[in-house]
């Protein structure tokens, strides 16, 4: 049975369809591994597999789901004490679609509270540990999903990406993570952080698994989500072996200062590999990208301030005991129920939306967002994809950045531009790099960003790079 762990999700699904693997046995194997999780990657694990639909496309390969996706009758807490034990009466559209396609719910994964964080240290249920080095973070906010996939505690998982929360933990854990085009995947049933940015996507061992899972996440527009869109064509399974004819743009604004030498070295080596595979690699400009982080940390907190106003202790979730009056109940519930980072962002967002400051901060940030989208559009007139490292650093030590919010936010400066532009972006592992000062080499991610709805082509290019890179993550799946 241990050999099943080395099968990718796609391989496992194919083996099930050939009758070589029993889906019940596969589920039980992963359920046992998840139930004995020592990384704190899970907040809840299923007792048994739900009944599978007939002839499932995904074969019955179990799926780990980030805690912020609502799942009927199952704890859906978004990593927060204010929703501790909350069991919603409905299931998120994307989870339902995947279940109907044959990916039964294995468990719910730990995350930064309300998806606010880059280290998965902000969860009310404790930090997730990186399977490559348990003294380090897995990245966030989808750190539980990333760690579970990397460590063989799940064959694949879904997470959400607001400013890099799929791509960054994928990079730090040595797996593949894809943020689709905004609107490509229904947000119905996702507990919201920033509604104009949140997007669900796959976290998988390899590019083929990402394509297969994504193919069942996108499709027809969901009438329950006003921001969802019809995906223009089915996701194609990747098969490209060369990069002949592919044009890659390298933005100087996102490939220089602030990136660790080991990360930058791995990036440059991957660019050279892309050239050897036939790609044209040239410099491009994203002149407003340096302002993306500042704009993001105005826009996202503003939206979170609005979205989290519903958590007031009245209708559901945590309520402070024995309040003196209604106002004290609100204040104590939100103070005790929200963690430090969530309270920080709510206050920041409320401030930038307040009278007298709205135009100076929120309005200006929206204009920057428009400029960033225009920069990418101009780049895509010359290039098929824009490429950069996924994270400026390898996984950092637990607790090392908690006292400095700005240092923590800087982890997002390579991933936030694509989020503000609403375009798809993907991270693949492209090697190992030693942390500053030396130590055990840790995974590094290579990021591709493309025009809206270019996911199939992006996955195809990523597949060719993946095959040539030959990254092996089996060491952490024992």
pLDDT tens digits, one per residue of 359-417: 999 999 999 999 999 999 999 999 999 999 999 999 999 999 999 999 999 999 999 99
CB atoms within 10 A of CB 347: 11
- CA dist., res. 381 & res. 53, Å (int): 44
CA distances from 296 to 293, 318, 373, 467 (A): 5, 29, 13, 34
CA distances from 252 to 258, 264, 290, 477 (A): 12, 12, 10, 36
CA distances from 462 to 206, 216, 275 (A): 10, 19, 14
- CA dist., res. 341 & res. 115, Å (int): 10
pLDDT at 51: 75
CATH of span 2-245+425-431+456-476? 3.90.1300.10
Q: What is the pLDDT of residues 131-155, one digit of tens each?
A: 999 999 999 999 999 999 999 999 9
Sign of CA dihedral 391, 397, 398, 404: negative
Query: Can you tell me the mean pLDDT for 323-349?
Result: 95
Provide the percentage of residues in the chain whose pLDDT is more than 90: 93
pLDDT at 355: 84
- The overall average pLDDT reported for the chain is 96
Q: Which position has the higher pLDDT, 464 or 357?
A: 464
41-55, 101-115, 146-160: least confidently modelled range: 41-55
Alpha helices in 338-397 (DSSP H): 340-352, 358, 364-379
CB-CB contact of 68 with 160 (8 Å) = yes
CA distances from 234 to 178, 215, 280 (A): 16, 7, 27
Catalytic residue among 8, 10, 66, 108: 66
Q: How confident is the model at residue 52 (pLDDT cuts 50, 70, 90)?
A: low
pLDDT at 329: 94
Whether 305 is catalytic: no
Range list of β-strands (E), 101-198: 105-109, 156-161, 176-179
| Strand pairing class (199-204; 156-161) | antiparallel
Whether 165 is catalytic: yes
Question: Structural domain boundaries of the chain?
Answer: 2-245+425-431+456-476, 290-365
- Asked whether residue 201 carries a pLDDT value surpassing 70, the answer given is yes
Catalytic residue among 8, 78, 123, 141: 141
Q: How confident is the model at residue 49 (pLDDT cuts 50, 70, 90)?
A: confident
Provide the percentage of residues in the chain whose pLDDT is more than 70: 99
Whether 108 is catalytic: no
pLDDT at 55: 64
pLDDT at 339: 96
Catalytic residue among 119, 165, 208, 427: 165
Which burial class, exposed, middle or buried, applies to 237 when counting CB atoms under 10 A from its CB (0-12, 13-18, 19+)?
middle
pLDDT at 54: 63
CA 294, 143, 158: angle at the middle one, nearest 5? 100
Q: How many CA atoms lie within 13 A of 124 on its CB side?
A: 20
pLDDT at 239: 96
- Asked whether residue 23 carries a pLDDT value surpassing 70, the answer given is yes
Closest CA to 418 of 455, 451, 466: 451
pLDDT at 399: 96
Q: How confident is the model at residue 316 (pLDDT cuts 50, 70, 90)?
A: confident
CB-CB contact of 93 with 59 (8 Å) = no
Q: How many CA atoms lie within 13 A of 468 on its CB side?
A: 21
Query: Can you tell me the mean pLDDT for 275-301?
Result: 97
């Amino acid at each position: 049975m241990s050999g099943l762990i080395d099968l990718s999700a796609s391989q496992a699904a194919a083996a099930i369809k050939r009758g070589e693997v029993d889906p019940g046995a596969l589920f039980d194997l992963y359920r046992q591994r998840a139930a004995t999780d020592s990384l704190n990657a899970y907040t809840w694990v299923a007792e048994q597999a739900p009944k599978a639909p007939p002839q499932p496309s995904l074969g019955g390969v179990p799926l780990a789901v980030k805690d912020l996706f609502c799942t009927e009758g199952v704890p859906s807490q978004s990593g927060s004490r204010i929703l501790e034990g909350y069991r919603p009466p409905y299931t998120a559209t994307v989870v339902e679609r995947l279940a109907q396609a044959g990916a039964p719910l294995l468990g719910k994964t730990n995350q930064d509270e309300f998806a606010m964080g880059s280290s998965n240290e902000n969860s009310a249920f404790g930090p997730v540990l990186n399977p490559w080095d348990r003294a380090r973070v897995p990245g966030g906010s989808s750190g539980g999903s990333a760690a579970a996939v990397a460590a063989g505690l799940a064959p694949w998982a879904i997470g959400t990406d607001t400013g890099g929360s799929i791509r960054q933990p994928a990079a730090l854990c040595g797996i593949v993570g894809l943020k689709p085009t905004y609107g490509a995947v229904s947000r119905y049933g996702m507990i919201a952080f920033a509604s104009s940015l949140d997007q669900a996507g796959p976290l998988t061992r390899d590019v083929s698994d990402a394509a297969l899972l994504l193919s069942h996440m996108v499709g027809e527009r969901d009438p329950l989500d006003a921001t969802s869109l019809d995906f223009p064509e089915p996701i194609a399974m990747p098969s490209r072996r060369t990069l002949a004819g592919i044009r890659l743009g390298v933005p100087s604004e996102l490939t220089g200062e602030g990136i660790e030498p080991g990360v930058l070295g791995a990036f440059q080596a991957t660019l050279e590999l892309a050239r050897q595979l036939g790609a044209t690699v040239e410099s491009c400009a994203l002149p407003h990208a340096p302002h993306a982080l500042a704009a993001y940390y105005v826009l996202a907190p503003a939206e979170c301030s609005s979205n989290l106003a519903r958590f007031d202790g009245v209708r559901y979730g945590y309520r402070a005991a024995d309040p003196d009056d209604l106002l004290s109940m609100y204040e104590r519930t939100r103070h005790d129920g929200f963690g430090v980072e969530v309270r920080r962002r709510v206050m920041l967002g409320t401030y930038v939306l307040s009278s007298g400051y709205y135009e100076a901060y929120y309005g200006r940030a929206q204009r920057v967002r428009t400029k960033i989208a225009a920069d990418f559009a101009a780049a895509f007139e010359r290039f098929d994809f824009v490429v950069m490292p996924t994270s400026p650093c390898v996984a950092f030590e637990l607790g090392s950045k908690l006292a400095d919010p700005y240092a923590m936010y800087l982890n997002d400066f390579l991933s936030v531009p694509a989020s503000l532009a609403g375009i798809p972006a993907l991270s693949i592992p492209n090697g190992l790099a030693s942390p500053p000062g030396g130590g055990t080499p840790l995974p590094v991610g290579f990021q591709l960003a493309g025009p809206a709805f270019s996911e199939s082509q992006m996955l195809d290019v990523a597949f060719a790079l993946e095959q040539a890179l030959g990254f092996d993550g089996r060491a952490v799946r024992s």
